Structure 1
């Protein structure tokens, strides 16, 4: 794949998965803006050196990279990031929103500050970024947006106690993906999501993991960001060098919303009687 002449913005790119994405794009010729607020594992604090050191590391290898440090929980911060890309490289073709935060809090202990942090990075940030990137993406011949979800949110069997805020945010990004995949269709802006599993500092991993390496997720994300990807509205599950794509798709024969082409029931009792069949549909 060749990304020469393309400009990519990658959030949360100072470390972990985001850095790997940025590095691979740069290796393939892209201009890359590495954005990272430099927060700790709990999503608190800031450290400008995280983004700048990551950028310098790639610059030392001869890659076209700039660093950005800013608060992406605000519209102004997101606008500034987009403007950084335009000022540095004159265009924007690829937006990868990788920045995230994993925090545990039981539902009985839920508070607005904790929930707000998840809402900020998972809802406000991708919306504000896309709002200000959109006019530039519309000018690109191969505009790509990659959001980030999680199997912990999508699949009940992988959910964990205390991840209500996290799961809500990651599912919200799928709603954003679906809406923007339709809104961007006419302009050729393709919007997909990745659901990655990798051992990074978010897992408390130090050093090189033996499996679930971030490098093994990157090929899927690079594909979604590439011109070779011609699909939109897909979720790419990526784990341990394996990939599977899924999407929310309607059942055959449905005439939405008047006919779900499935089991009819006129009372709660009828729903109860047919519940086993309803679950199978």
Structure 2
């Protein structure tokens, strides 16, 4: 297999002043990409701001012979995001790659969480990714090429105590990927999701020291680079951490059909083991497939010919 390179490509990485984002930005630059290093420079919980972290990463890139520019856009503010994208377009003429990585944490059990903290986390992770993707979407459509990555988490896909805000935002990004995959594919835009686990500011103190040493950001970045490569996949949730790589998939069971006279909660309960049985489950690519499946069940029962 040939080496994965990004010569001539322009990438935007949000939250790139530290941790995973910094690793992504440096690796893309080493592989030839011109990089917009975005970072608001706030705390893990989203307070404060300084462009100094982004500028430090830019100095690393340019010091190694690469090309980069810093931008301190707050991803929750569409105007600032648009200014960042316009800056990249003015300097380099295009944006080929967007890595939505910016995020904050405000963990508390749902009972104790203020709605302001719920909204703030959703705004950064979910709406921040929406704002950034919206800003690059038309330039990518016009160019007939684009690679977009959302950053999800096992906390959203599987759940994690005390992270209802974070989990809701992270699973929302999977839904966003699914739809944008359908809307972008005819324009050469591939949309994927990365579900990372690594030692960063967000996980510091939560992971035993022995395990933390194995959880390098570079291990995750290797997966990210493949997702945004020219021959990378589409509509994939790639999980990466400590050198492990896997894919999360959402399946639907075949389920059952109940005729109208039997469509009662008691019969749903009676047949629940069959409803949740994984035998014969399928991976759907769009919501209509579920509708068609159920309609086909009903049509067979009533002897109706479809199509």
Cα pair 1:233 1:247 within 8 Å, conserved: no
Cα pair 1:142 1:226 within 8 Å, conserved: no
Question: Within 5 A, what are the aligned runs for 1:140-159?
Answer: 140=143, 142-155=145-158, 159=159
Secondary structure at 1:144's aligned position in 2? Answer: strand
Aligned-partner Cα distance in 2 for 1:261–1:107: 32
Question: Within 5 A, what are the aligned runs for 1:1-281?
Answer: 1-140=4-143, 142-155=145-158, 159-204=159-204, 209-229=212-232, 231-250=233-252, 262-264=256-258, 266-281=263-278
Aligned-partner Cα distance in 2 for 1:192–1:268: 38
1:254: which partner in 2? none
The structural deviation recorded for 1:250 is 4.8
Secondary structure at 1:109's aligned position in 2? Answer: coil
The structural deviation recorded for 1:121 is 1.2
Shift in CA distance, 141/5, structure 1 to aligned 2, threshold 3 Å: farther
Secondary structure at 1:245's aligned position in 2? Answer: strand
Cα pair 1:85 1:92 within 8 Å, conserved: yes
Over the residues paired in the alignment, what is the CA RMSD in angstroms? Answer: 2.0
Q: Which moved more, 1:169-178 or 1:36-45?
A: 36-45
Cα pair 2:145 2:187 within 8 Å, conserved: no
The structural deviation recorded for 1:142 is 3.8
The structural deviation recorded for 1:107 is 1.5
Aligned-partner Cα distance in 1 for 2:35–2:87: 11
TM-score by length of 2: 0.82
User: Which digits, 9 at most, give the CA deviation of each residue in 1:154-185, with x for residues without a partner?
Assistant: 11xxx322100000000110111011101101
Aligned-partner Cα distance in 2 for 1:247–1:20: 26
TM-score by length of 1: 0.90
Shift in CA distance, 261/270, structure 1 to aligned 2, threshold 3 Å: closer
Aligned-partner Cα distance in 1 for 2:34–2:251: 35
The structural deviation recorded for 1:261 is 5.3
Aligned-partner Cα distance in 2 for 1:6–1:35: 17
Aligned-partner Cα distance in 1 for 2:255–2:268: 15
Shift in CA distance, 99/47, structure 1 to aligned 2, threshold 3 Å: same
* Consecutive unaligned residues in structure 1, runs of 5 or more: 252-259
Cα pair 2:181 2:234 within 8 Å, conserved: yes
User: Aligned pair count?
Assistant: 269
Secondary structure at 2:124's aligned position in 1? Answer: helix
Secondary structure at 2:98's aligned position in 1? Answer: strand
